[in-house]
Amino acid sequence: MALVLWPAVATADYVVPAACPPRETFVAAVRARVQVPPTDWSVRVERIEEGYVGELSWRGRTRRIETEACEALVEALALSLTLQVAAAPSPEPPPTSLPSAPPPSAAPQPEPPAPWRWQLGAGVSGAVVSGRTPSVRPEVEVAVSVRRADEGYAPAASLGVFAFGSGELVTEGPGTASLRMFGGRLRLCPGGWRLAAFTFLGCADVELARVEADGRLDTAERARTTWFALGADLGVGWRPLPVLEVALSGAAVAPLSRYRVKFEAPERVIYTAASVGMRGALSLTAWLP
């Protein structure tokens, strides 16, 4: 018996002469030697003068065996296949592909706050004031303003000039006096809030004004002095149009120096500015878009 290696062939069949054992005999011989017989083999047997020659092909390799009896040839081919199966390395199972973890997503970055938008405006207001003269007097103010134009927190500020005249101060005795005041007012409103068409303001006021009196202010028949006062202001505004606002406000004003109006011969004080005065105002402001 001879063992010969032939080039690989790609067949999958059991082809033998009729005198040779059937396919079942070959398969049974292989199964008797291996637990899991292969299925991708090919066997071919031919009759020659000296006996029989057989070819076994498996996994790209071909073996050729010659014997006198076909039964012995089929048995030899089955043994050759089982030896090849035993010597062949077990195929490695394909690597289990684990689902790759998604790359860590970058933490969402908070959006930067939008820059504040500001509006400029100009307006006029009419007010009634008390505490500067014996009676309630009218006041007129013209002011320029700036405010935050966004919803929510909306601080504001304004700078205006105001004036009022007292007319005559009627005294208890003979004589009269008149009083005039004109000056500037700075209003700072850190407590502003915008909600829909409404604006709510909490402000602090600083007033600096010139006071003129005809009659006697302290000892002079006509005198001038300075009015310097601090105030607290609360107001609410309504915007019938985006560029137009009507506001109503009320303030308490406390002078840091209280002037007196008096006459001499005989000397008598006819009025002293109150320690706390009040102001109520109605204003109309036009805002730039």
Least Cα distance to 129 among 255, 246, 216, 217 occurs for: 255
83 and 122 belong to one structural domain: no
Asked if 261 and 180 sit in the same domain, the reply is: yes
Please tell me the total count of domains within the chain. 2
Residues 7 and 76 reside in one and the same domain: yes
Q: How far apart are CA 43 and CA 23, in angstroms?
A: 9
Answer yes or no: are the C-beta atoms of 144 and 119 closer than 8 Å. no
Instruction: Output the CA angle 195-199-202, nearest 5 degrees.
Output: 120
Give the H/E segment covering residue 31. helix 23-31
Same domain as 206, residue 147? yes
Please indicate, yes or no, whether residues 151 and 253 belong to a single structural domain of this protein. yes
pLDDT recorded at residue 106: 72
**What pLDDT, on a 0 to 100 scale, did the predictor assign at position 160?**
96
The reported pLDDT for the residue numbered 11 is 42
CB atoms within 10 A of CB 245: 23
Residues 166 and 36 in one domain: no
Q: Residue 12: give its domain's CATH number.
A: 3.30.160
CATH number (domain holding residue 221): 2.40.160.20
Whether 31 and 161 map to the same domain: the answer is no
pLDDT at 265: 55
Domain-embedded: residue 93: no
Residue 113 is assigned to a structural domain of this protein: no
H or E element that contains 55: strand 51-58
Closest by alpha carbon to 178, among 141, 140, 211, 225? 211
Determine the pLDDT at residue 33.
82
Residues found in the chain: 289
User: In angstroms, rounded to a whole number, what is the distance separating the alpha carbons of residues 18 and 21?
Assistant: 8
Question: How far is the C-alpha of 81 from the C-alpha of 54, rounded, in Å?
Answer: 12
Whether 210 maps to a domain, the answer reads: yes
Residue 105 forms part of a structural domain: no
Containing structural domain, residue 218: 118-287
- Does residue 57 lie in a domain region? yes
Is residue 54 located within the same domain as residue 148?
no
- Specify whether 241 is located in the same domain as 157: yes
217 in any annotated domain: yes
Q: Angle 23-31/70-87 helices, nearest 10 degrees?
A: 40
Residue with tokens 């009025």: 271
Exposed e or buried b per residue across 196-230, where buried means at least 16 C-beta atoms within 10 angstroms of its C-beta: eeebebebebebebebebbbbbeeeeebebebebe
Q: Domain for residue 94, yes or no?
A: no
Residue 126 shares a structural domain with residue 207: yes
The helix, strand and coil proportions of the chain, stated in percent and rounded to the nearest 5, come to: 10, 55, 35
pLDDT score recorded for residue 131: 84
Statement to judge: residues 82 and 182 lie in one domain: no
99 domain residue, yes or no: no
Residues 165, 39 share a domain: no
pLDDT string in tens for the chain (289-residue length): 444 343 333 345 788 888 898 888 888 888 888 877 777 788 888 888 888 888 888 887 888 888 888 888 888 888 888 888 877 776 555 556 556 667 777 778 888 888 888 999 999 999 999 888 777 889 999 999 999 988 889 999 999 999 987 766 655 455 567 778 899 999 999 988 999 899 999 999 999 998 887 765 555 566 678 889 999 999 999 999 989 999 999 999 999 887 776 666 556 666 778 889 999 999 999 999 8
pLDDT of residue 145: 95
Using a pLDDT cut of 90, give the percent of the chain over it. 32
